[in-house]
Structure formats: C-alpha cells, structure tokens
Amino acid sequence: MSEKNKRSEVYEKAVCDALVELISKAKGTCVSFESIDIAKLAGLPINAYTLYSIKKVLYKLMRAGMVRRLRRKKGRIFVVNCDSPLWSACKIKDREIVFEIISECIKNKD
C-alpha cells in the first residue's frame, strides 16, 4: 500500500469514527457538522491539510448521496439525515459497516 493510500485511509477511518460518535448521540433525525468538528472528534491536528483531506472524503460521500451539504455565507455545513444508510449503521454503532460504506463510496468515485 502506498503512502498516499495509507494517509487517505487514516482520514476515512477518522470520518467513520467521528460520524459514529456524532450520529449515535443524535436525538433528532439529522446531524449537521463541519470538517473541523470531525477533526476535533477524531483527535486529529487542526491544520489546512487535515481539514482539506476530511473535506475530500465528505465531498465523495456527498456525491454518493450519503451526505448533504448546506451553504452558508462562511464555510460549508454537511448534513446526514435518517434517510441515509450511514444513519442506521451509525445508530447501532457498527464501525465496520460504516467504514465499508465509506470505502465503497470512495472507491466508486475515484
């Protein structure tokens, strides 16, 4: 596995873990977050490269229809609602299924 693939897998796992944590604690039918929220939950350093890498994963999930994006004047907010397959997998806290869903979406979009 190349160095680039190893790094991208780290960010995929970080997004996976953060989404499981966010969605499993959700009391409503949707969750909204920014890339910086994912970085904080995953314990990653908050710098431009990390945030860019997380956004890359989130945009691929958005193109696959798993995540929606809301525009604001400043920045972007991503939203996962109860209709997404990610929602049910995260609610039961099954990290393997969530990681599998994320990996499939990213493979299909590369």
Evaluate if residue 32 carries a pLDDT over 80. yes
Strands lying side by side in the sheet with 68-71? 30-33, 76-81, 68-71
| Token pair recorded at residue 30 | 């949707």
Q: What are the helix and strand counts (H, E) for the chain?
A: 5, 3
73 pLDDT tier (thresholds 50, 70, 90):
low
Mean pLDDT within 1-19: 78
**Per-residue pLDDT at 54:** 92
Greatest distance between any 2 Cα atoms in the chain: 40
Rounded mean pLDDT of the chain?
85
| Token pair recorded at residue 42 | 């995953």
The CA distance from 50 to 6, in Å, is 14
Evaluate if residue 108 carries a pLDDT over 80. no
The CA distance from 67 to 80, in Å, is 5
Element containing residue 30 per DSSP (H, E): strand 30-33
CATH of the domain at 15: 1.10.10.10
Q: Could you tell me the pTM of the whole model?
A: 0.85
